[in-house]
Amino acid sequence: MSVYDAKIAGLTGASDLLGSLRGKVTLVVNVASKCGLTPQYTALEALHQKYSGKDFSVVGVPCNQFGAQEPGSPSEIQTFCSTNYGVTFPMSEKVEVNGAGRHQLYQDLTKAVDAEGHSGDIRWNFEKFLVDRAGKVVARFNPTVAPDAAEITEAIQAQLGK
């Protein structure tokens, strides 16, 4: 199954956010506004700006499961991200990434293994998944790996070069 088949609404109401990105290389990131890693929004937006003209997109997926660090309404999340970090990349509705209420998208993403050999549950906010044009997860990155780290930018470039 393609990640792009997972139905997830956009933060501002689009009914099929991922379907609209089919055919692009996408970096899916579970995000939160009140986390120590929240400043990663700056590098995520820079990645989005740098590669968006080459059929690439970052997608932020708000989640409140880690320390209740994303308590806001859709409007509050949108305002926070655009005002504080200039975010222009697509954001989804707030979802659960772990547990019985895990969104379908994360049913697929959590099967991927990262460089440390971790698969399964999301460990914290800002865990990242690189998805190829066909919707296959090709890389998973620990939350503490910066969005502009060489391993992420090289993986994106490799996918865009295909």
Quote the Cα angle for 11-17-19, to 5°.
Answer: 175
Marked catalytic residue, from 9, 35, 46, 160: 35
Quote the Cα angle for 86-148-97, to 5°.
Answer: 75
Phi, psi of 84 (to 5 degrees): -90, -25
List residues bridging with 131 in a β-sheet: 26, 137
- Tell me, yes or no, if 63 is annotated catalytic: no
Q: How many CB atoms lie within 10 A of CB 64?
A: 18
Q: How many CB atoms lie within 10 A of CB 100?
A: 5
Residues marked as catalytic = 35
